[in-house]
Amino acid sequence: MSDIKVDAVLDITNEVCPMTFVKTKLKLETLETGQHLEVILNDGEPLRNVPRSLKEEGHRIVGTKKDGTKFHLIVEKGM
């Protein structure tokens, strides 16, 4: 995960659904296709919803790291 250059970081550990994905989506809108966003989220409900929503909207999760009860996702922005 460390070899990917991250263009922006977003911490959504203080958000609840659906704001977890809304904030992620808004942040991704500020990036260009192919750029990378690191998303820090809690396990449980955000982890069930954010990755699937990212995939459904055409983004790719290219890196992951577990950090206690948090996860870091590296998201490559899709078209």
- Residues near another protein (CB under 8 A): 43-44, 47-49, 51-53, 55-56, 60-62, 64-66, 71, 73
Beta bridge partners of 42: 70
Residue at token pair 């942040």 = 27
Residue 54 Cβ, how far from another protein at the closest point, in Å?
8
Would you say 9 or 17 has its CB closer to another protein?
Answer: 17
> How many CA within 13 A on the CB side of residue 48?
5
Task: For the CB of residue 14, give the shortest distance to another protein in the complex, in Å.
Answer: 18
Q: Is 17 a catalytic residue?
A: yes
Distance CA 3, CA 13 (A): 24
Residues known to be catalytic: 17
